[in-house]
Amino acid sequence: ASGGSREYKVVMLGAGGVGKSVMPFLSHLNVNVVLCFSEDAYKTQVRIDNEPAYLDILDTAGQAEFTAMREQYMRGGEGFIICYSVTDRQSFQEAAKFKELIFQVRHTYEIPLVLVGNKIDLEQFRQVSTEEGLNLAQEYNCGFFETSAALRFCIDDAFHGLVREIRKKESMP
Ligand code: GDP
Ligand code: MG
């Protein structure tokens, strides 16, 4: 299929303070802010595997309750970036709940996801090991990236990885 002007609706999920709002800016994605509401949205155009991709990124506020707004963006997202901070075990525990929450709305586990453990520059404050992240990603059957927005490390890879997961799913019969 020609990915021509394909737009990808990406939703960022995760506890407060893990780095969701700085990540899109501390990448090389050159995002533009298109909406400043209770939740922010960014748009950008990148090339991934030599095919253009318009990213439509929704940055959520990460309330723990199951709000109507969350249900709405979980319905609209084509792929999800589930973020936690490697320095915050509680955020990892929250990350482990999202697949079930997405399932409650979408009634399928076949939703493209990537798991992101951010803030690896703060190694001395690490509370979540790489292995734990990998194990959760395995359970989620999704890609896993340890990132540092502060060091601009691996952020693009996480977004690219998600677009690849969406494309992979679409190419399946
Ligand atoms: P959000 O609540 O998930 O949107 O988190 P923010 O994007 O607002 O980030 C919360 C705080 O963590 C801010 O002070 C960021 O500067 C900081 N932060 C985000 N990513 C990193 C990172 O990779 N390393 C470090 N050291 N700080 C980070
Ligand atoms: Mg935020």
Ligand positioned closest to the Cα atom of 18: 1
Among residues 52, 71, 53, 51, the alpha carbon closest in space to that of 10 is found at 53
What confidence tier does 117 reach under pLDDT thresholds 50, 70, 90?
Answer: very high
Query: On the CB side of 68, how many CA atoms lie within 13 Å of its CA?
Result: 0
Report the pLDDT value the prediction gives residue 154, as an integer from 0 to 100.
Answer: 94
Among residues 128, 43, 37, the alpha carbon closest in space to that of 83 is found at 128
Note the pTM of the prediction, 2 decimals: 0.92
Asked if residue 149 has its Cβ within 6 Å of ligand 1, the reply is yes
Ligand positioned closest to the Cα atom of 60: 2
Cα(161)–Cα(148) distance, rounded to whole angstroms? 16
Asked if residue 85 has its Cβ within 6 Å of ligand 1, the reply is no
Taking residues 92-116, what's their average pLDDT? 93
Q: Where are the beta strands (DSSP E) in the chain?
A: 7-14, 32-36, 40-48, 51-59, 79-85, 113-118, 143-146
Who wins on pLDDT, 141 or 29? 141
Report the pLDDT value the prediction gives residue 3, as an integer from 0 to 100.
Answer: 46
Asked if residue 16 has its Cβ within 6 Å of ligand 1, the reply is yes
Ligand 1: atom nearest CA of 148 is 23
Mean pLDDT, the chain, integer = 88
Ligand 1: atom nearest CA of 118 is 23
Cα(56)–Cα(139) distance, rounded to whole angstroms? 27
Asked if residue 52 has its Cβ within 6 Å of ligand 1, the reply is no
Taking residues 130-153, what's their average pLDDT? 95
Taking residues 159-167, what's their average pLDDT? 96
Asked if residue 3 has its Cβ within 6 Å of ligand 1, the reply is no
Scored b (16 or more CB within 10 A) or e, 108-143 reads: eeebbbbbbbbbbeeeeebebeeeebeebbeebebb
Interface confidence: ipTM more than 0.85: yes
Report the pLDDT value the prediction gives residue 41, as an integer from 0 to 100.
Answer: 86
Asked if residue 17 has its Cβ within 6 Å of ligand 1, the reply is yes
What confidence tier does 125 reach under pLDDT thresholds 50, 70, 90?
Answer: very high
Q: 30 and 159 in contact (C-beta within 8 Å)? A: no
- For 60, the token pair is 């959520």
Q: Using the mean position of ligand 2's atoms as its centre, give its distance from the Cα of residue 165 in Å.
A: 24
Q: Using the mean position of ligand 2's atoms as its centre, give its distance from the Cα of residue 33 in Å.
A: 13
Cα(71)–Cα(68) distance, rounded to whole angstroms? 5
Among residues 39, 42, 83, 37, the alpha carbon closest in space to that of 61 is found at 39
Cα(128)–Cα(49) distance, rounded to whole angstroms? 31
Q: Using the mean position of ligand 1's atoms as its centre, give its distance from the Cα of residue 162 in Å.
A: 21
Read off the pLDDT of residues 28-85 as tens digits, 9 standing for 90 and up.
777 676 655 556 788 999 999 999 999 999 988 765 556 777 788 889 999 999 999 9
